[in-house]
Amino acid sequence: MSVRSARGGRGQGSSGELLELVRSGRATTRGALQQATGLSRATVGQRLDRLFRAGWLREGAGGPVDSPLGGRPSITLEFDDEHAVVLAADLDTRHARAAVLTLTGEILAEHGGTLVIEDGPEAVLGELGRWFAELLAKTGHRAAEVCGIGLAVPGPVDTDTGRVVQPPIMPGWDGYDIRGRLARAFTEYTGAAGAVPAVPVLVDNDANLMAYGEQRTGYPDCSAFVLVKVSTGIGAGVVVDGSVYRGIDGGAGDIGHIRVPEGAEVLCRCGSYGCLAAIASGGAVARRLVASGVPAASGSDVRDLLAAGHPEAVGLAREAGRRVGDVLATVVTLLNPGVLMIAGDLSGTAFVTGVRELLYQRALSRSTAHLDVVTSRLGERAGLVGAGALVVEHLYAPERAEERLRALGV
C-alpha cells in the first residue's frame, strides 16, 4: 500500500514520511520511494534534499536495480545514526542507570550507581544531570549533539505532561515537573544553558520502557508482548502492534495493585490492603526474610541471596512466583500475548518456576498454546534501550520530523 492510499491524502509523501519509509526499510532507493508515494522523481529529490541538508540521511552502497529494463544499481538511502545521540536513564527505588545511546539504540557509555528515589525529584534529577555530563565527556560528544532525553520511572506516568500520578513507591514525586527539572539539570552540568535549544525530555513507566526495548530488539514480529517487572514493586508493560499500550491516563499494567485473597490482611505501600505487590514483590520477600532473621532491605538484596542459592530466599521466591502466576493467568487470558517476559530482581529460576506452575494450571489452554514464557534478554539495560527508542520514535515520526526540519530552516 502506498503512502498516498494509506494516509488518505493527508500529508502525502512529506520529507518526514520519506524518512519513515527509509528508516523502516520499506523503501530505501529513490525509485522505491517514488513507487511507495506516487510522487514524481523531482519531488522525491526535493524532499530528500531537506533530509540530506539536515544530516538525517546518507547514501549507502548500490542496491537493486529500480528499472525492470536493467541498468546500473540504484544508490541505497540510509538513516544517518551518527548525526545526534540520545541520553537515557532508568530509575529504580534505590539504584539508577544512565547512558549515551546512538539513534539506533547502541549504548556508547553507561553508568550505574546508588540513587534513592525517596530522596525526592530535586536531588535525584540533579544527580542524573551530573551523570549525563560525565557520560558525554567520556564519549567525546557535545551537549549540542543530544537530540533528546528519555527517562524510565517506577510509577504511573501521564505521558502528555511527563508527570507521575499518585506513585506508590515515589514519595514526593506526584505531579512534579520532571521534564523541566531534568532539562535544567542537563544544561547546568553540561554548561549548555543558553547555548543550545531546550532538549526535549520524555518520561514513561519503567515496565513500559523495558517492554518496548525488549520487544523491539528481541521480538519485533510479536504483535502482543507482555513484560512483568518484579523488583521492589510489581508492574507490567504491554506492547501491541509495536506500540506501548498505556490506557487512558498511563495506568495500564499496574498489576501489583490487583487485590488477591491471600493478602487481605497485608497493608500495601499504596495504602490499601491485599495488593499483589504487598505479598509477592521483591520488597515483600525481603520483609519476610528480615522477619526470619535474614538481612534484606530491598528486591536487589533478594536477588543477591537468590544468586547465592540461599534456601529460604529460593523457597519464598517460588511462592511469590506462584502468586504472580495466578494473576498472570487472567492477564494472559485477556490479552492472549505471544510472549510473556519476566524481568526484574526476582526473574530467576525459582520465581519463574512458580509463575509457570500456576499460570498453566489456571489459564485457558487456548490462551497458552502459542505462548512463550521467557526471561529478559537485555537485563538491566532494557529500560535504557526502551527510553532511547521512545525518544527516537517521537522525534523522527513524520509530523514531528517536519516540525523539526522547519525549525532547522531546511
Q: Which pTM value belongs to this model?
A: 0.90
Neighbours of 104 (CB within 10 A): 13
Q: Which residue has the higher pLDDT, 330 or 61?
A: 330
Q: Do domains 3-79 and 85-207+384-408 have the same CATH topology?
A: no
pLDDT in tens, 221-272: 999 999 999 998 999 999 999 999 999 888 899 999 999 998 889 999 889 9
Phi, psi of 65 (to 5 degrees): -75, 125
Say whether pLDDT at 2 is over 90: no
Residue 20 to residue 79: CA distance in whole angstroms: 9
Domain positions in the chain: 3-79, 85-207+384-408, 219-378
pLDDT in tens, 95-132: 999 999 999 999 999 999 999 999 999 999 999 999 99
Query: Which pLDDT belongs to residue 197?
Result: 60
Q: What percent of the chain stands above pLDDT 90?
A: 85
Q: How confident is the model at residue 10 (pLDDT cuts 50, 70, 90)?
A: very low
Query: Which pLDDT belongs to residue 239?
Result: 98
| 85-207+384-408 to CATH, choices 3.30.420.40, 3.40.50.720, 1.10.3210.10, 3.30.470.10 | 3.30.420.40
Q: Which of 124, 67, 131, 133 is nearest to 98 (CA)?
A: 131
What is the β-pairing status of strands 85-91 and 146-153? Answer: parallel
Whether the Cβ atoms of residue 111 and residue 97 lie closer than 8 Å to each other: yes
Residue 324 to residue 262: CA distance in whole angstroms: 12
Whether the Cβ atoms of residue 239 and residue 211 lie closer than 8 Å to each other: yes
Query: Which pLDDT belongs to residue 7?
Result: 41
Residue 235 to residue 227: CA distance in whole angstroms: 8
| CATH no., domain 3-79 | 1.10.10.10
Q: Regarding the domain with residue range 219-378, which homologous superfamily does it belong to in the CATH classification?
A: ATPase, nucleotide binding domain (3.30.420.40)
Whether the Cβ atoms of residue 38 and residue 2 lie closer than 8 Å to each other: yes
